Structure 1
Amino acid sequence: MTHLAARVGARVRELREGRGLSLSELARRAEIGKGTLSELEGGGRNPTLETLYSLTTALDVPLSAVLHGLTPVAEVSGRAVDAVLTERIKDDEAVTETYRIQIRPGSVQESAAHAPGTTEHIVVLTGTARVGPRSAPQVLGPGAHGSWSADVAHVYEAPSERVEALLVVRYKR
């Protein structure tokens, strides 16, 4: 068990209990196993990016609700993406998160739809990325930027080489 896993698990449990949800109900809503959620909340499992997005979407909170303020800074990994939260800005209209991401070459990560009104914006620093809605992803090279509605299923892919990028996720409140 890592210190980071324990802190992330404790935040997930706190959010779940604050919403009056049972372990079973959150697991059902997030479409993950009850045992997986129990291990995660107990700090016995390192959560993947996909699992954290499933949980935070089911809890109707931004991903940064479980990552913000962690020391050392939390890097979370998914099937294709490694992400580090660098900034979280909250105002009356939205929560805006900024991530430094890497997309591993030859891999694809499918992200489920986020809360209604969520948008994502990316600036590619190195490599070529295929990102955006699963039905119409954009191909972006170094220096290019794109944006899409993230309240539909979307993908991140690095077809041939590692991609370094900045990702901004904006959740409407």
Structure 2
Amino acid sequence: MAQEVPATASAASAKVPMDSIAAVLRRERGRAGLSLTEVARRAGVAKSTLSQLESGNGNPSLETLWALCVTLDVPPSRLLDPPRPRVQVIRADEGVTLASAQADYQAAMLSASPPGARRDIYRLSAEPGAVRASDPHMPGVVEHVLLASGRARVGLAAEPVELRPGDYVAYPGDLPHLFEALEPSTRAVLISEHN
């Protein structure tokens, strides 16, 4: 059976959105036409654990939520990804983080793929100097940047944010935007999402 574990993420990490998780679990269990007992059995979790989670209580481990998602045939992002503002910044020590019950391992979801979206992934290398200014892309494009090393100003041209290693930002790619390395050997991952 999957175990519950104490949260070991940084104090700055976002709290697991238990109200949202509870609502999605109840809705998806009802959609699947399964009883609490049957979902718990199939997922390999205690019925009392599932009952607590559906009530908005508890501190689920990564394994518990994963097992429930597999049983209910829903992506984990549906449980963890609340509605987001147009521009979103997640610092390296922030974000909804789940800890494993089996290893010293944590997973923080930064962004869920919307239904029907296509994502292109790029590895970026940049040096200080000229700013990489981008004209607007096609309507609906969203860009996601995760800074791996160095320091950079990234995002909408009118209001870029400074990122440090581990920081994440998402912004509309259909508006003027930029990437400016502030330190040598700045590296990042860019994901361009097309709906």
- Which structure's residues are more often strand, by fraction? 1
- When normalised by structure 2's length, the TM-score is 0.43
Whichever of the two has the greater Rg, that structure is 2
Structure possessing the higher relative contact order (Cα contacts under 8 Å, 6 or more residues apart): 2
